[in-house]
Amino acid sequence: MKKRLGRIVSVVLLIGLAYGISYAWKSFPLISAYGAKIMCSCVFVAERSEASVHSQELGSFPISLGNFAVDREGQKVTGSVFGLAKRVAIYREGQGCTLLSGESESAVRNQPYFAATKPTWSQDTVRWPSGDMLNDSILNLAPYRKIQEMIDHELESPERKPLLTHMILVVHKGQLVAEGYGNDHDINTKHTSWSMGKSIISTLVGLQVDRGIMTLDQKNLLPEWSDERSKISLTNMLQATNGLDWVEDYGGVSDATNMLFLKPDAAAIAAAKPLKYEPGTYFYYSSGTTNIVSKILRNQLGEEKYQRLPYEDLFYKVGMHHTVMEKDASGTFVGSSFVFAPGRDFARFGLLMLNKGNWEGSQVLSQEWVKFAVTPTPAAPIGQYGAQWWLNAGNKYNPADKLFPDLPNDAFYAGGFEGQWILVIPSEDLVIVRLGYTPKGGFSMNDFAAGVIAVLDN
């Protein structure tokens, strides 16, 4: 009996050891890479303290197992778990942070960089929306003071503060009427976009379509797609109906996390996937899709135009002077996830869409493109997706069946992991930005925006 029991214990221990080894083998590199990237961007791009990042973004298990050493002189962060699975993210001025993912540091640092010419005028001396001067008489109006109280409650009340809302901004009738910052963030802090970046990539494509450089029906999008994938159109890519076999999951090692944190070329990982569905017939939200689109832009425009495109043709034209798009180790913008900007810059992006591509009298983006971007793809069951924008359009047979039950059906938004939002509601002439670190949920944009609308409509 004792021998039998001993054998059982030995088997259990072996199984446990095998599981532990398997977990470490798969998870430690991901933990190291994820933490190195987050720490690098938050310290060097967002200019936050290491302690702040450790207590928020890197404070939960299993990421808390990692050690993330910041080298300020070398401008890089090394992540490891118990000294194992070391991964490095480097910072480059104007380009943000990049995970090396097996590439040499010297090779990545020496990649050609074509910096856009940044505006030299101060936004402090120019009125909103291109500048940062606000209208105090508008801010003091009773409805806007009430909205400011709502924001302050989200940031400061004991029951809401643990949700780690970093910033909320409300733009009404073109004016920034209320804003608030907390948890080590302020008006200048650049914040991660996560998947809100997808909507920026869509807009960059729109600029090329407006100019006739690209067309929505173009196919044969990548040289390596010489098989059945050659029939995937640019529309299929933008509407997340390309049919590629992809798993969008962030609970461990998956297609998405492998692409973002473990491989040097995000687009290549996604583009290598085979076709699973007939293009245009099945909606599946995919970060891989967006990074392929980013690579298509790069191939079509060439290196110099591609690198300058977001800055010269979009950001600097609409007052987004402090926005940074980060690249992977191959040099492609990781448009699915890695854009950093202050809250006001994200609000300006929402305002551009609210105004149908017009910015203070200049048509930066065509009205036709904006309409396409917020028109539901037929494959989305409840009209919830357009061209890299989430929509509240609702089921065409039952408009009440929609993502946000208490918001108008014309609402649309850029959304990101852990609670990032740029919500646009044309019928209310309203843009709301909420940024934070809320991985377990708890912040309801439906409830907050409905509350704002209730105040404005009274």
> Is 112 exposed, middle or buried (CB count within 10 Å of its CB: 0-12, 13-18, 19+)?
exposed
> Is 245 exposed, middle or buried (CB count within 10 Å of its CB: 0-12, 13-18, 19+)?
exposed
Confidence of residue 250 (pLDDT cuts 50, 70, 90): confident
Report pLDDT for 41.
98
The SS3 assignment for 111 reads: coil
The yes-or-no verdict on residue 19 having pLDDT over 80 is: no
How far is Cα 251 from Cα 31, in angstroms, rounded to an integer?
Answer: 11
Matching residue, tokens 């929509």: 391
Report pLDDT for 24.
53
With beta carbons less than 8 A apart as the criterion, state whether 214 and 222 touch. no
Q: What is the pLDDT of residues 194-236, one digit of tens each?
A: 999 999 999 999 999 999 999 999 999 999 999 999 999 999 9
Report pLDDT for 46.
98
Report pLDDT for 370.
98
The yes-or-no verdict on residue 4 having pLDDT over 70 is: no
Report pLDDT for 32.
98
Q: Residue 426 CB: number of other CB atoms within 10 A?
A: 17
- Average the pLDDT over 311-325 and give the result: 98
Give residue limits of the domains in the chain.
2-109, 166-457
Q: What is the pLDDT of residues 402-417, one digit of tens each?
A: 999 999 999 999 999 9
Report pLDDT for 21.
40
Report pLDDT for 26.
76
Could you give the C-alpha distances from 78 to 30, 103, 108, 252, in angstroms and in order?
13, 14, 16, 20
Q: Which of 18, 42, 38 is nearest to 30 (CA)?
A: 38
What class, spelled out in words, does domain 166-457 have in CATH?
alpha beta
The SS3 assignment for 244 reads: strand
The yes-or-no verdict on residue 369 having pLDDT over 70 is: yes
Q: pTM score, two decimals?
A: 0.95
